[in-house]
Structure 1
Amino acid sequence: MRALGHGNAALPWLLSSQVTSLVLAEHGMKQESHSRQRWWRDENAVVQQQEQTTTIPAPIVASVSQYWEGNDGPWSSFAIQVGQRAQNVRVLPSTASTSTWIVYEEGCPADAPSNCADTRGGIFNPNNSLTWVPNSIFQLGLGENLDYNVFGDFGFDTVTLGWQGSGGPTVEHAVVAGIGDTTFSWLGVLGLNPRPTNFSTFPNNPQVSFVQALKNQNSIPSVSWAYTAGAQYRLDKVYGSLTLGGYDTSRFTKPAGTSENLTFPFYTDIARDLLVGIQSITTSNTTSSTSGTKLLSDGIFAFIDSTVPHLWLPESVCKAFESAFGLTWNSTAGLYMLNASQHSTLTALNPSITVTLSPQLPHSASENSVAITLPYSAFDLNISWPHAETSAYYFPLKRATNDTQYTLGRAFLQEAYLIADYERQNFSVWPCKWDSETTNANIIPILSVNSTAANPGSDNPSESTGGSRKGLSTGAIAGIAVGAAVGVILLALAAWFYIRRARSKGRASFELENTILHDPNALPDYHPEKGAGAEELDSCAKHELQAHNNKFGPLEAPDNVGKYEMEGDHTSNEADGRERRLGVVHELDAQEDAGLGPKITLEPPTAVTPGPGSTFPDTKMGARSR
């Protein structure tokens, strides 16, 4: 039934409430809300019905676009619609972003390839949407630690998962940013981070994220998601998988010797919450040896972020990669570029690279670590315009200049399955499974900590959702919900017939007491700092963005602005490595918030001058030249 997992999970309740209300109105009965029971009573009989519990919606499986695209590798994108009238665009999930990004026409300048718009997943035109609400220009809030300084034209619009006509769930007034950047993110993104965003244009009014909105409207069972990027080189090209409110057991395996309940706690720095300890990195063979070689010996902590494709590792580790595989650093491109000979050598060598993760360093025991092994195919990627005039081979490894840049990007998630549970404040990482069952989805819901169906006292998603048991199919869950709704309606009708019969016998008029009618909007929400179910996400850490002081008028550019950039004259002077605990607000001003510690300072861009006939800055919203 479409009511489950597609934004209409409250529909059966609404129907039953409407039927009950009609019965009560016809017989002049009074409604009150005092307890969790419903009573129909007269002087001789009492009919009692326990209040129906809230229907638990099924997880949402996001629709893959069936495209492999990107200018830094073949990535499995997902289909969404933005606006009314809806415009189809293709995006990549971002495990770090709290908003949805879509590409503006400024992202395809005159010297871009002729197929630029299509390769960028489609262009969004806010002027063609009847529901677009403009906000202002802000920094995207991501990538500063990686030396990106990217701006977006923020606003609000309707966002729907899936292609038009697919019946996917819809979020009204979602936070959306139009981008023209050509270096940071080629496709738009679907933000998976459920924390709210504070805009300085809406003081003290945090804007709900896409994932949190789905939970608030009872479209998913909990504030959680699971994602793997997919792998074009595996089986018959296995697309990515994104499940909201649950996970897919067919896409990962739990290795022998690793605890089945292994989870990683969210890091206290909310900008790097998905932080893992990298215990070691090893390779099966090298260009000079057929034996295993260590590429990382001393453990480091790294942030998992699907927004970027690369692995950002210490320079010493990158040097070990260079020695093992004959890589050469291209300082101009800032990449490890490969010529045809190097590519042929590595393809024939076919080394595998194993990244071993653990929640703590040094790790305490082998069962508290998990190994993710990537074949060379996971690193065999191409880049194209504007990184290179024609398609070229590259190895997705980046030199990190400090520990705030240590990152495991999208290339890593080709072989890793990531499950994030924001209500229990933990996540897990498992190796992907590649067999005949990989594409036979088995979706398991992650129940909310507020759900009475969750196992009492469980702090683990796999425990609270029966991770070791076979989960209910979407159809089965839908059937249960439909059955519950029908039961409520039949009870209401039975009460109506009972009342008619009583009245026909001259009985006294009835009074309905102690009634609670279901309010689909009165759903319990998640509040981590007060414990399970205590308060809503928007009361904890927020991303606050400072507005540009000139919304849409002419902007003036500094002399050193690059061609595809909306340049600012300010770079953050704060260190990204500082500790930011839950409750610290991400703001875009330089002031300190007493008692909460330092804030992330994200400054607005300076003005730039539009070109002839342009209604948007001629220097595109994009990243600073590096």
Structure 2
Amino acid sequence: MRMKPFGYHGAAILLTIASKAAGYVLGENLVLRDETNTTIPAPVVASVSQYWEGNDGPWSSFAIQVGKTAQNVRVFPSTASTSTLVVINVGCPEDAPSNCKDARGGLFNKNNSLTWVPNSIFDVGIEENLGFNVFGDFGFDTVTLGWQGSGGPTVEHSIVAGLGDTTMTWLGVLGLNPRPTNFSTFVNNPQVSLVQSLKNQEAIPSVSWAYTAGAQYRLDKIYGSLIFGGYDTSRFTPSTLTFPFYEDISRNLVVGVQKISSSGTSLLETGVFAFIDSTLPYFYLPTSACSAFETAFGLTWNSTSELYLVNSTQHASLLKQNANITFTLGTTTSGGETVDIVLPYAAFDLNISWPHVEETTRYFPLKRATNDTQYTLGRAFLQEAYLIADYERFNFSVHPCKWEPNAKSSIVAIRSVNDTTENPSNTTTPTGNKGGSHSSSLGGGTIAGIVIGAITGAAILGAGWYLMRRRGLCGCGEPSELDATETEREQNRPAVPLDIIRAQKAGDEQELDSSGIHELPSHHKFGVLEAPGGDETFPKPSELDEQRARQGRFSEVFEMDSGPIVRIEPPTAIETEAPDLPTPGQLEAVERAQERRVGHDDQDEER
């Protein structure tokens, strides 16, 4: 019994079966490979500028680049702002100190940036509850974390505002609040914040950050620490207390200040809710609490500057007293779990200068709040507190800072709520080190890939072998017609008049031509745009036929029974078909021969 050819559908079935079988057998390994090799982004450690600066105390600033070509500026992190605020030229008026440009962290010039996209003049949207009404020249530009060449992540088209104000913040600020900003110039199109953009482009593992302001008075001047998507366990003593975000999204980092005390003396009559705001250095507390501070530390309120200025005599007394002030925090204003943040007097021993006062003087960073919306724990508080905010889980935590000489950083990633991988080894290393263990043996996923490749490759080779055999282009076997008997070939041919078949068989029988089959010149594999010679015009099939005929390169293929010649015409004649039908000239010749024979027979009959 003759076997039927496998066919094109058979080749497709073979490939499908091979793929399904490999997936079925190695399904577990494939899933395992996907799970174990998933890598989450590492946290980004912001670069400290290694400057201590500010007109309201020595603060540790951070380096960023704005615009293209990049302009280096130094900023303070702001837990309240959603935007990057940078000082511009009008922020250094004529009566400013001579070193104003550098003292303010460097100025940004939008005209020197190729990527600046203007927006409009808007209120910066922060500290309004504290009596500030500051406007900025808003636009969009490229923002990169760190100094030039540090390799920090870049956010294109980030919200940037130029500040000319000198009263709210001396340096620019880096907004840490990830909520979007609504502009009247972009109706129903909130603009994405810097932190959210970092997460969107997978530069950080989650919408989160950790910050502490640093303390110049601790050890050998400990700089601040700002980490996006993680925290540094070497910088704090962990607390188990977690705070939910406050309902006001502009003041979401609100804690219950249950007690403020020093050496057994209470400095707060009743608990209050206060916002942790690193934009400003001050503690805004109830008037009664400020009175308690005045009594305990001999402070005097200056109504002109609205500051507690400290003269040299007071300063010497305070240094001698060297009091510690403890803030007891909870999720409510009384009861429940709490955490204590203890600040030495050195945390309050600060200097202030122009434009707040004419000459630099010491001050105590305490402000009288006029209402409960102003209660604030400012940057001075974060000298001794480590703040971790997780905007995906809507909570934050406050931990007492830990001061250990030569402590080695230990960065831990905050995983996204959408991260379902089980491999934690990729979450504890800073940017530049993906972490994880390494093994010299092949994993399940690697083995799966090898086996699938082998099975699929074998299937493709088998299908390709069959297709080439069908087309007569492979020397690995004879065409299927050679396996058929003479009777089968006669039965499978199309119907041809019997006398024509007899006339064909009258010719000389010949063997199958053994000359090679030639392919078209290689340039036929290129399109017009890909051709080596450019926009080249290739020969038409008829021209190519004439050219090859002159070169004697045509190959003639004959059937075993010496049927008519079948010429392979480029480029589609790949498979030999049944014999050609007779041409009209051949039919006329046969008819004339028949007529002559018929006329000869008639003459014989007459004779």
* Fold shared, TM-score > 0.5 on shorter chain: yes
The alignment partner of 2:267 has SS state of strand
Letter in 1 for 2:460: R
- Alignment pair present for 1:353 and 2:325: yes
Q: How does 1:45-56 map to 2 (within 5 A)?
A: 46=23, 49-50=30-31, 52=34, 54-56=38-40
Matched residues in 2 for 1:385 and 1:327: separation?
21
Q: Which residue of 2 aligns with 1:266?
A: 245
CA distance in 2, matches of 1:405, 1:43: 66
Q: How far apart are 1:475 and its partner, in Å?
A: 7.4
Match of 2:91 in 1: 107
Map of 1:118 onto structure 2: 102
**Residues 145 and 58 from structure 1, CA distance in 2 versus in 1: closer, same or farther, beyond 3 angstroms?**
same
Select the residue among 249, 258, 262 that pairs with 1:279.
258
Structure with larger Rg: 2
- Count of residue pairs the alignment pairs up: 445
Shift of 1:482: 9.9
Q: Which TM-score applies when normalising by structure 1? A: 0.67
Match of residue 452, structure 1, among 420, 423, 437: 420
Distance 1:318 1:483, change over 3 A: farther
| Alpha carbons 2:212, 2:387 under 8 Å: kept | yes
Aligned with 1:65 (options 35, 49, 54): 49
Q: List aligned pairs for 1:435-584, cutoff 5 A.
A: 435-436=404-405, 439-453=407-421, 472-474=428-430, 478-480=434-436, 499-506=456-463
* Cα pair 2:61 2:224 within 8 Å, conserved: yes
Q: 1:296 aligns with which of 268, 293, 305?
A: 268
Q: Aligned in 2, Cα 1:424/1:45: closer, same or farther, shift over 3 Å?
A: closer
Displacement of 1:45 after TM fit?
A: 5.2
SS in 2 for 1:357: strand
Task: Tell me the amino acid that sits aligned with residue 378 of structure 2.
Answer: G
Q: In 2, distance between residues paired with 1:454 and 1:383? A: 51
- CA–CA distance in structure 1, aligned partners of residues 447 and 224 of structure 2: 43
Residues 99 and 177, structure 1, Cα contact 8 Å, conserved in 2: yes
Distance 1:494 1:475, change over 3 A: farther
User: Given the alignment, which residue of 375, 395, 405 partners 2:374?
Assistant: 405
Q: Give, in whole Å, the separation in 2 of the partners of 1:293 and 1:479.
A: 49
More helix by share: 2
Q: For each residue in 1:423-477, what CA deviation from the matched residue of structure 2 results, as whole angstroms up to 9, or x when unmatched? A: 111111011001135x41111111111111379xxxxxxxxx89xxx97333796
CA distance in 2: counterparts of 1:335 and 1:479, whole angstroms: 49
Amino acid at match of 2:324: S
Secondary structure at 2:40 match in 1: coil
| Structure 1 Cα separation of the partners of residues 451 and 199 of structure 2 | 33
1:385 paired with 2:354, answer: yes
Which stretch of the first structure deviates more once superposed, 501-510 or 325-334?
Answer: 501-510
Q: Give the partner amino acid of 1:446.
A: I
- Normalized against structure 2, the TM-score is what? 0.69
Tell me whether 1:86 sits opposite 2:54 in the alignment: no
Give 1:385 shift: 1.1
Q: Distance in 2 between matches of 1:266 and 1:85?
A: 39
- Over 3 Å counting, the alpha-carbon distance change for 1:129 and 1:416 in structure 2 is same
- Amino acid in the other structure paired with 1:474: P
Tell me, yes or no, if the aligned pair for 2:115 and 2:142 is still in contact at 8 Å.
yes
The Cα offsets for residues 533-557 of structure 1, whole Å up to 9 and x where unpaired, read as xxxxxxxxxxxxxxxxxxxxxxxxx
Partner residue of 2:157 out of 152, 173, 187: 173
- Tell me, yes or no, if structure 1 residue 422 matches structure 2 residue 401: no
- The one of 335, 359, 363 aligned to 1:363: 335
Partner of 2:511: none
Q: Is the 8 A contact 1:232 1:238 kept in 2?
A: yes
Deviations along 1:523-572, whole A, 9 cap, x unmatched? xxxxxxxxxxxxxxxxxxxxxxxxxxxxxxxxxxxxxxxxxxxxxxxxxx
Q: Distance in 2 between matches of 1:508 and 1:239?
A: 70
Q: Which amino acid in structure 2 is aligned with residue 394 of structure 1? A: Y
User: How far apart in 1 are the matches of 2:135 and 2:202?
Assistant: 32
* Letter of the structure 2 residue corresponding to residue 304 of structure 1: I
State how far apart, in whole Å, the 1-side matches of 2:466 and 2:52 are: 67
Question: Helix, strand or coil for the counterpart of 2:294?
Answer: helix
Deviation at 1:144, TM superposition (A): 0.8
Q: Whole-Å Cα distance in 1 between the matches of residues 22 and 128 of structure 2?
A: 70
Aligned match of 2:199 = 215
* Candidates 277, 296, 319, aligned match of 1:324: 296
Deviation for aligned residue 1:339 = 1.1
Indicate how the Cα distance of structure 1 residues 363 and 40 shifts in structure 2: closer, same or farther if over 3 A, else same: farther
Q: Secondary structure at the match of 2:132?
A: coil
| Post-superposition offset of 1:362 | 1.9
Alignment of 1:184-223 (within 5 A): 184-223=168-207
- 1:55 Cα deviation after fit: 2.5
Which structure has the higher relative contact order (CA within 8 Å, separation 6+)? 1
Q: Choose the corresponding residue for 2:229, options 245, 262, 266.
A: 245
Post-superposition Cα deviations, 1:312-365, rounded to whole Å, max 9, x if no partner, equal: 00111111111111111111111011111111111121111111101012213x
SS of the counterpart of 1:347?
Answer: helix
Q: 1:495 to 1:126 in 2, by over 3 A?
A: farther
Shift of 1:493: 8.1
Q: Hey, what does 1:606 align to over in structure 2?
A: none
Contact 2:40 2:427 in 1 (8 A): no
Cα 1:312–1:385 change in 2 (3 A) is: same
Shift of 1:387: 1.2
Change in Cα spacing, 1:398 to 1:489, as seen in structure 2 (3 Å) is farther
- Contact 1:277/1:358 (<8 A) preserved: yes
- Structure 1 pair 339/217, CA: closer, same or farther in 2 (3 Å)? same
Q: Which amino acid aligns with 1:352?
A: N
Q: Secondary structure at the match of 2:39?
A: coil
Q: RMSD of the alignment, in Å?
A: 2.9
Provide Cα deviations, 1:221-258, integer angstroms capped at 9, x if missing partner: 1111110000000000000001111111111103xxxx
- Return the alpha-carbon distance in structure 1 between the equivalents of residues 147 and 121 of structure 2: 28
User: How far 1:95 sits from its partner (Å)?
Assistant: 0.6
How far 1:181 sits from its partner (Å)?
0.7
Q: 2:114 aligns with which of 126, 130, 135?
A: 130
Closer/same/farther in 2, CA of residues 294 and 483 from structure 1, 3 Å limit: same
Deviation at 1:481, TM superposition (A): 10
Task: Output the CA distance in 2 between the equivalents of 1:454 and 1:298.
Answer: 46
Question: Structure 1 residue 52: deviation in Å?
Answer: 2.8
Please list, as runs of the form range in 1=range in 2, the aligned pairs for 1:338-349 lying within 5 A after superposition. Answer: 338-349=310-321
Letter in 2 for 1:448: S
Where do 4+ consecutive residues of structure 1 move more than 6 Å?
481-484, 486-494
Counterpart CA distance in 2 for 1:151 and 1:480 is: 47
Number of the residue aligned with 1:334: 306
2:20, 2:50 → 1: CA distance? Answer: 65
1:76 aligned counterpart, secondary structure = strand
Listed one character per residue, the Cα deviations across residues 128-183 of structure 1 (whole Å, up to 9, x for unaligned) are: 11110000000010111100000001101111100001110011111111101101
Q: Residue 500 of structure 1: CA displacement?
A: 4.4
Aligned partners of 1:422, 1:157: CA distance in 2, in Å?
Answer: 24
